[in-house]
Chains A and B, each alone.
Chain A
């Protein structure tokens, strides 16, 4: 029994991870965990691994010549297997999910400059209103890092989607429309966000709710928030939406 478990535990774990990967790819959710550029490679290797697993079950193999484990080795192995199985259950039985506001709090929103190809103020200055309306949370957040000159933002239409995280300095009146930006996989997700001034927003929405915010930038009327500018959503400028299929920005 133990020899069988010791021999096949790896194949069972590979099968678990591979099935989860292929299913995520088939349902278009692999991008919840990794950058799109890795999807093809990951899927190819998963299919290869699945073929090898099936072959390893079908083809008779030479037996191994390992010494039997000592009692201590066996105890360590069992602990390792149990721990792995917990994660295995997480892979197979828990619905896939997006990172939440807990990770935003852990990583400080807009704390780090993002990637090399951010929107620069000079490039953006000549854009049309239609182009601005298409700007994402990431585009606006990188512009806000570069300039807080209200004249630059004046009259530009803002139309962004993201989930709500509270501004830690003024949680009552200001929230961020937030997204995670991913360079490789969810482990390196950096939160970015655009501040929105909306007194008592928590009466209608909760943290982690997905919303679409339309309006334009103005001076932030919150006295406690450290953000000089904030989106002033007009009447019905905040609309609750379903979580999108591609919740991360890349």
Chain B
């Protein structure tokens, strides 16, 4: 832990203190000792007889389950983001994408095919793309399309529903169109930076040349520390909220709305919002509801859920301003509902 550097004033000088000071060694000991200590506490506390009330216990179990399930994907997303930002030459990404903005966004929607992270991993990756020079609207298109247009999601959705009732097709086409419509809408915005949180916008503006001869390894580690500091509190809070809602809102309230063509679509959007499961597996989650809910409402769940839910809003808030997230929720909500209604009434 290089505290000597952290204590620098904002208008820092670029003279680094010698590498191995006593203070630095002490902080390394604290860091490594901390990890060992965590293991020791975990080992000892397992034998404790803690009797939480059932509801509190289940809230904790559900929140931990969200974290354990999402963490590997978040880590993978951060690693891919580091790969894009530090290790891949700038020209690569830009060179092979079409120049025409519409085609360019369409091409970006399919990046998820080669970078298959689910939605929580996509946030750090989209941040990496923006730092690397993608516009805000382009990275939004990626953010919305990639969780749906990726091989794992397509396979699991196909396993769950096959080609029945057009659910898979509606999910893929709906997801693609929504991502591109939203990207197009935001590309009309003149001041793209104003969509971002001030902290992240500042990060994007830091010129590449502002390096003091660090190795790529050092840059990568610094980026990991930074992305983790932004993503992890959001993930923890998202998990806690998701767990709390599960314990507090009876499932039956939503299920009773299931067979009405209009209400089922709205109920499924609420369910997707509160349940916050990963796009890679949400098809399995929703499969048991398929006999009580209309196909259109299932399609809505599968289009809306990967993009907007409590956990994702917490993660997206790290990057986008609140008004943008409200607009995004409304636009994506309307378009997903439209997708569901088209499936219900047209097919």
Per-residue B-contact encoding for A171-209, CB less than 8 Å = 1, 0 else: 000000000000111111010000000000000000010
Asked whether, in the complex, the Cβ of A8 is within 8 Å of the Cβ of B225, the reply is: yes
A67 partner residues in chain B, CB cutoff 8 A: 10, 198-199, 202
Output the nearest chain B residue to A52 by Cβ-Cβ distance: B224
Quick one: given A45-B71, A90-B63, are A187 and B246 in contact (CB under 8 Å)?
Answer: yes
Report if B120 contacts A (CB, 8 A).
no
Are A100 and B39 closer than 8 Å at their CB atoms?
A: no
Q: Which of A32-87 contact B (CB under 8 A)?
A: 32-34, 38, 41-42, 44-46, 48-50, 52-68, 73, 77, 80-81, 83-84, 86-87
Residue B91 CB within 8 A of the other chain: no
Q: Quick one: which of A88-116 are within 8 Å of B by CB?
A: 88, 90-103, 106-108, 111-116
Q: Which residues of chain B have C-beta atoms less than 8 A from A64's C-beta?
A: 222, 226
Report whether B285 and A184 are in contact in the complex, using a CB–CB cutoff of 8 Å: yes
| Cβ-based interface call for B323 (8 A) | no
11 A-B residue pairs with CB within 8 Å = A9-B232, A10-B227, A11-B229, A24-B68, A57-B27, A84-B232, A91-B67, A93-B42, A95-B46, A97-B57, A116-B159
Measured between beta carbons, the chain A residues less than 8 angstroms from B75 are 14, 45, 48-49
Selected from A11, A18, A187, A190, the residue in CB contact (under 8 A) with B69 is: A187
Residue of B nearest to A50 (CB): B35
| Cα distance, A14 to B250, chains bound together (Å) | 32
A4 within 8 A of B: yes
B residues at A contact (CB < 8 Å): 1-3, 5-8, 10, 12, 16, 19, 24, 27-28, 31-32, 34-35, 38-39, 41-43, 45-50, 52, 54-55, 57-58, 60-69, 71-73, 75-76, 79, 159-160, 198-199, 202-203, 206, 210-212, 214, 217-219, 221-222, 224-237, 239-240, 242-243, 246-247, 249-252, 255, 275-278, 281, 284-285, 287-289, 291-292
Residues of A close to B62: CB separation below 8 A = 99, 103, 186-187
Tell whether A16 is near chain B: CB-to-CB under 8 Å: yes
Q: Are A20 and B58 in contact (CB under 8 A)?
A: no
Q: How far is the CA of A187 from the CA of B16 in the complex (A)?
A: 48
Q: Are B45 and A111 in contact, CB atoms less than 8 angstroms apart?
A: no
Residue of A nearest to B42 (CB): A23
**Cα A12 to Cα B202 with chains together (Å):** 24
Partner of A56, one of B46, B66, B221: B221
Residue ID in chain A nearest B53 by CB atoms:
A102
